[in-house]
Amino acid sequence: MKKIFMFDALKEATDEEMSRDSRVFIIGEDVGHYGGSYKVTKGLHAKYGDLRILDTPIAENSFTGMAIGSAITGLRPIVEGMNMSFLLLAFNQISNNVGMLRYTSGGNFTIPMVIRGPGGVGRQLGAEHSQRLEAYFQPIPGLKIVACSTPYNAKGLLKAAIRDNNPVIFFEHVLLYNLQQNIPEDEYILPLDKAEIVREGKDITILTYSRMRHHVVQAVNVLVEKGYDPEIIDLISLKPLDIVTIGQSIRKTHHVIIVEECMQTAGIGAELIAQINEQFFDYLDSPVKRLSSQDIPTPYNGSLERATVIQPNQIIEEVEKMLQVLHFL
């Protein structure tokens, strides 16, 4: 085992896959000589050169389209968005080409590409750099969507995404790059479509992903001291949702809270509630509760910014409220 930062885990995954497969290359803004805005590609340009680490102009629609064309011809591009918010400028390419070309070509083309980069609410990055685009991309047919949350799953999931023959949108949280964790020195790959049971419990199922996993863990540490026994599930796969793992937990706990950094309106939590009610309604002893970010542009002011995002104390309060009757029986 070795202790590693998340940005280094992502770099290791990229480096290993580029060494393994000469078709893999990286394209994006400042990915080459500069080493990436968050150093995920640091040192790779010196190793692989201009033809496999391509610095681009600030033209997301154009270089995403170029990556799609290269995937059609047999290469395996990794598109880095300097900030995932900027990929709204490539939304046409992602929605009309990345997800659909395999199907509209009758299976003649595959699009084995990864679109990855930092997103989420950082620390005073302002509204335009604090967007959460997972719900924007979720309804697009043909995409897989993954949100990593630890150095361990970041490396294993990115390696799997690079090898996958389908397009994968790979979300990294801007505040998790400096998270450290021990990971295996030997190679490992994790499935793209499986949730992770972070903690087993019997009282309530807490569904979460990305940075909110860590807020939930903080809250659950307090809840356990108070005598509660929550189960934590890190969704990891946002499309497709691992509804099998979610359902097994609901059959056991009969209560569900969703904790997300996504907006509440039409967010990931909204889709989760719809699927849970459709498939597991009879197992619920109370309505599903979602704790989501407020439906406003993220303020620049630090205190206001924190107020828009769910904090551990809010999770504790909602769990206690939902389980109050159960706890005293």
How would DSSP label each residue in 203-272? SEEEEE-TTHHHHHHHHHHHHHHTT--EEEEE--EEES--HHHHHHHHHHH--EEEEEEEESTTSHHHHH
Cis-peptide, bond into residue 240, ω within 30° of zero: yes
Q: Is residue 204 very low, low, confident or very high in pLDDT (cuts 50, 70, 90)?
A: very high
- Domain boundaries defined on the chain: 2-183, 196-328
Query: Is 60 known to be catalytic?
Result: yes
| 5-14, 121-130, 266-275: least confidently modelled range | 121-130
- Distance from C-alpha of 33 to C-alpha of 248, rounded to nearest angstrom: 48
In this structure, CATH architecture of domain 2-183: 3-Layer(aba) Sandwich (3.40)
Which amino acid, residue 116? R
Token pair recorded at residue 19? 């060494």
- pTM greater than 0.85: yes
Q: Which residues contact 35 (CB under 8 A, 6 or more apart)?
A: 41, 42, 43, 44, 45
Query: Is 33 known to be catalytic?
Result: no
Q: Which residues contact 323 (CB under 8 A, 6 or more apart)?
A: 203, 204, 228, 255
Domains 2-183 and 196-328 share a fold: yes
State the average pLDDT for the chain: 95
Q: Phi and psi for 182 in degrees, rounded to 5?
A: -75, 130
Instruction: Report the DSSP pairing between strands 230-234 and 237-239.
Output: unpaired
Q: What is the pLDDT of residue 326?
A: 54
Residue 138 has pLDDT above 70, yes or no: yes
Topology of domain 196-328 in CATH is Rossmann fold (3.40.50)
Q: How many residues does the chain have?
A: 329
| Type and span of the H or E element at 172 | strand 168-173
Residue 327 has pLDDT above 70, yes or no: no
Q: What is the pLDDT of residue 214?
A: 98
Q: What is the pLDDT of residues 70-108, one digit of tens each?
A: 999 999 999 999 999 999 999 999 999 999 999 999 999
Catalytic member of 129, 173, 215, 255 = 129
What are the respective helix, strand and coil percentages of the chain, to the nearest 5? 40, 20, 40
Q: What is the pLDDT of residue 257?
A: 98
Catalytic member of 60, 231, 260, 305 = 60
Token pair recorded at residue 58? 């600030």
